[in-house]
Structure 1
């Protein structure tokens, strides 16, 4: 079975708006209709237009469709799965120091809720099987998508080298926060713990990093993110800034910058300046650009060097607590 890029991805049949058993003529007419509807010259969106083209590339010929369907209908003993896998190291050079379990809390929440959704007594041999995931409610798919995003970001951070230290799934205590979880209210994912996905320290500064996959493109408007995948009232940068400030108070450190990391192609450019939030420089970053950004820093974010770097690391080690 072919696994889409994200648990939130539509199948090519969904993109074209036809059932999976549609005949070829129906498929061809749907393709032409969707091209007209999504073409930028007729008021459509470029990302949707490209998605229609990509869907047709997968299932537009009998041979291609057969290959896709063979995967889609794979036997249960060969399931496609978003289960976590051990990451293979691409290099032998020392990696960044890393603490915590990136994506762990989100995966645990997904496991709890997908079993509740399936119902008591349901047999879920692999709750991460792509067929189960794609039939689950969007709120559950969002949890898993964010877990995968956090794991992918952590893998990139690890390649920065020994000069960097990263803490993942860091719990933060905010003034006025009464505890518990409030789905969709905090602006950094559904049913999200009050946490920072990643805290990264290196010569370029100390960064609070959020890994997100909303399943749709996002863009900046007056320093905040907007997009179809966000729920009403979500303020991702404002929320990240609030949590970064809470960490700074607890550890007696100054956070240099804020980074929200999205999948490749999910924003208009690889790196977008989001201005300042609570005095911290902020940027929207596509994941492939993240290592470069963390090495050179963000405009307006103070670098850290020498003895100060050691002191900040020590304070963070003493203050950081992880989501359980």
Structure 2
């Protein structure tokens, strides 16, 4: 099962339609091996992806299991959809968590449900809108919305571990979003290491940062850091506060380095952060980013609490 709704399916990796017969699948696999083999100048990552794809759909048993939504041929089909909302799990320790407000990923999940039902068509009943086969067949823009919802939820779980010194707001409404963009800022984090405005993203491929903006073929002309800066500015103006850092968080394998700085925007340090590095980056504070004193943290929290609305 792909890790993200935007991940290529095994059929896409092999370059065949999902209904290709066994012979066509085998031919495509052998061709993909030749093209991607490192010994002939191929990309090792793509070569590995081809082998994994074959493991998932290379035998009738594995293919049937994959098409049902199972992760591989040796495991049964899951009893619940891979991307359905997961219930909270009981905590195993007593360490205090960060104070959190809002519903991370809530608006993105609702947008996904609206879009996938509209795409399926009127009068069509979707027994499970998170069914893996349905998700894989949906247009990329719909899968992207679901991928973002999952990214926001994963970021929220990471931010919760910051501890009682931090306050986190999720899905904060803002009027600064551009056409077609969700009218919200994904996360605001306040603590002694600064005021962080954060977007959680998953474009399904690698991105970098240069001169204060993200780069990468998967962006399709988007300017994510500019959009984040506009949202942060709108919220900061309303609350009369200044963010000290603007962060965009992506899956670990979509960024070359754990933390990449990109200069400053209106005095706020901008950075691209791997998801696994996020909590430590916030706890430590970004290089060049101002820390806040205890009185200042309380004042900024009060101002934000007075103006924050949830999307």
Q: After superposition, what is the alpha-carbon deviation per residue over 1:78-113, rounded to whole angstroms, capped at 9, x for unaligned?
A: 453411112323533111100011111111111111
SS at match of 1:116: helix
2:307 is matched with: 319
Residues 196 and 44 (structure 1 numbering): CA distance in 2 closer, same or farther, change over 3 Å? farther
User: What is residue 112 of structure 1 aligned with on the other side?
Assistant: 114
1:186 counterpart residue number: none
Answer with 164-173 or 87-96: which moved more. 87-96
What is the aligned partner in structure 2 of residue 236 from structure 1?
224
- Compared CA separation, residues 133 and 58, structure 1 to 2 (3 A): closer
For structure 1, which runs of at least 5 residues remain unmatched after alignment? Answer: 184-191
In structure 2, the gaps of 5 or more residues are 70-75
TM alignment of 1:19-168, pairs within 5 A: 19-20=17-18, 26-38=24-36, 45=43, 47-59=45-57, 62=59, 66-67=61-62, 69-73=64-68, 78-88=79-89, 89-168=91-170
- What's the CA shift for 1:43? 6.5
Equivalent in the alignment of 1:187 = none
Alignment partner, residue 294 of structure 2:
306
The 8 Å contact of residues 68 and 133 in structure 2, kept in 1 or not, is answered as no
Q: Deviations over 1:182-228 (max 9, x none)?
A: 22xxxxxxxx2232100001111110000000011112233321223
Alignment of 1:206-225 (within 5 A): 206-225=195-214
Q: Is the 8 A contact 2:169 2:188 kept in 1?
A: yes
Structure-2 change in CA distance of 1:127 and 1:23 (3 Å)? closer
Q: CA deviation at 1:29?
A: 4.2
1:275 partner SS:
strand
In the superposition, the TM-score normalised over structure 2's length comes to 0.88
**Alignment correspondent of 2:237:** 249
**For the Cα contact (< 8 Å) 1:237–1:277, is it kept in 2?**
no
* 1:6 match: 4
Q: Note if contact 1:241-1:280 (Cα within 8 Å) is conserved in structure 2.
A: no
C-alpha spacing 1:90/1:39, structure 2 compared with 1 (3 Å): farther
Aligned length: 304
Counterpart selection for 1:172 from 161, 171, 174: 174
TM-score calculated relative to the size of structure 1: 0.85
Look up the SS of the partner of 1:201 in the other structure. Answer: strand
Q: Is the 8 A contact 1:6 1:145 kept in 2?
A: yes
